[in-house]
Amino acid sequence: MPQRIVAGNWKMNGSRALLAAYFAAMEQAWMPLRRCEVLLFPPALLLSEALEPAAALGIGLGVQTVHPEASGAYTGELAAEMAVDAGAQWTLVGHSERRAACGESNEDVAVRAAAALRAGLKPMVCVGEVLTDRRAGRAEDVVREQLEAVLATVGEDLSAGAIAYEPVWAIGTGETASPEVAQAMHAVIRDVLRGAANGLADVPIVYGGSVKPDNAAALFAETDIDGALVGGASLDAAAFLAIIAAMETHGNP
Ligand code: 13P
């Protein structure tokens, strides 16, 4: 069985003050986790501040991207080795906002996943189609290509990581993919993983795109939806806790 994961991506939001208030609220209402692993991807500058309170609750930490090289003249970039040194266990790679705004190609995403794995960082590889792809009936092909580029580079090593299916049209729009639409794509992703190498059938596949407390349980009830990558709602401790609770109570055992 794949590990269940509920992850929060703070994107470029937050401050030391927000982080302190957030963890204080989390501690107040924390539940012992039986089914899922909880991860937080704050801005890298807040990572050191998050180490202690996250460890106290058993929350894993990650960064939002890494550079393919281990060091060098890359002003403004962060190496996977540095993220490990700072206490991260995970990194996102290929988030659609980076694909769109920083021009990251499928190959760029693949080398970042490889760099993360070399450094001992688990990559959560983000894939997802834009609305025009979906309307043109190309959603599956786009997601397959995104995934296959990573698999061609890292192969079986991806067993240490996870996939996040985030349809771009559902991110930050309030328009969630229906559980059926999300499940259909998760099944495609599971098929690609299973066909690619031994040991990849159990890679967690989480859904992202306007996940909120009121839609999480229905998504988590689907066979191949192993959790969520939550953006906006993860900035609110109560909302994020409610999504974690949905996984603890409604997700597949
Ligand atoms: P929202 O939950 O704000 O739609 O963001 C999803 C996302 O991009 C998580 O990485």
Whether residue 100 has pLDDT greater than 60: yes
Residue ranges of the domains in the chain? Answer: 4-250
Helix (H, G, I), strand (E, B) or coil at 173: coil
> 0.75 exceeded by the pTM?
yes
Residue 11 Cα: closest atom of ligand 1 = 10
Q: Give the phi and the psi of residue 168 in degrees, each rounded to 5.
A: -60, -35
Rounded Cα–Cα distance for residues 224 and 192 (Å): 13
Q: Ligand 1, atom 9: nearest CA belongs to which residue? A: 231
Please, which residues have CB within 8 angstroms of residue 57's CB and are 6 or more apart in sequence? 23, 26, 27, 30, 38
Q: Is 8 in the pocket of ligand 1 (CB under 6 A)?
A: no
Q: Give the phi and the psi of residue 36 in degrees, each rounded to 5.
A: -130, 160
What is the per-residue burial (b if ≥16 Cβ within 10 Å, else e) of 52-83?
A: ebbeeeebbbbbbbbbbeeeeeeeeebbbbbb
Rounded Cα–Cα distance for residues 95 and 62 (Å): 13
From 9, 125, 207, 211, the mutation candidate for ligand 1 (largest count of ligand atoms within 8 A of CB) is: 9
What per-residue confidence (pLDDT) applies to 252? 55
- % the chain with pLDDT above 70: 98
Q: Place 174 in a pLDDT band, splitting at 50, 70 and 90.
A: confident
Helix (H, G, I), strand (E, B) or coil at 122: strand
> What confidence tens digit (pLDDT) does each residue in 104-137 have?
999 999 999 999 999 999 999 999 999 999 999 9
- Token digits for 91? 């990194």
Q: Give the phi and the psi of residue 63 in degrees, each rounded to 5.
A: -105, 170
| Active-site amino acid positions | 95, 166
Q: Is 172 in the pocket of ligand 1 (CB under 6 A)?
A: yes
Q: Is 171 in the pocket of ligand 1 (CB under 6 A)?
A: yes
Residue 210 Cα: closest atom of ligand 1 = 4
Rounded Cα–Cα distance for residues 108 and 169 (Å): 22
137-154 average pLDDT score = 98
Q: Place 176 in a pLDDT band, splitting at 50, 70 and 90.
A: confident
Q: Place 183 in a pLDDT band, splitting at 50, 70 and 90.
A: very high
Write down the mean pLDDT value for the chain.
96
What per-residue confidence (pLDDT) applies to 249? 86
CA 233 to centroid of ligand 1, rounded, Å: 8
CA 75 to centroid of ligand 1, rounded, Å: 27
CA 186 to centroid of ligand 1, rounded, Å: 17
> What confidence tens digit (pLDDT) does each residue in 244-253 have?
999 998 755 5
Q: Place 175 in a pLDDT band, splitting at 50, 70 and 90.
A: confident
- Which CATH class, in words, describes the domain spanning 4-250? alpha beta
> What confidence tens digit (pLDDT) does each residue in 6-40 have?
999 999 999 999 999 999 999 999 988 888 999 99
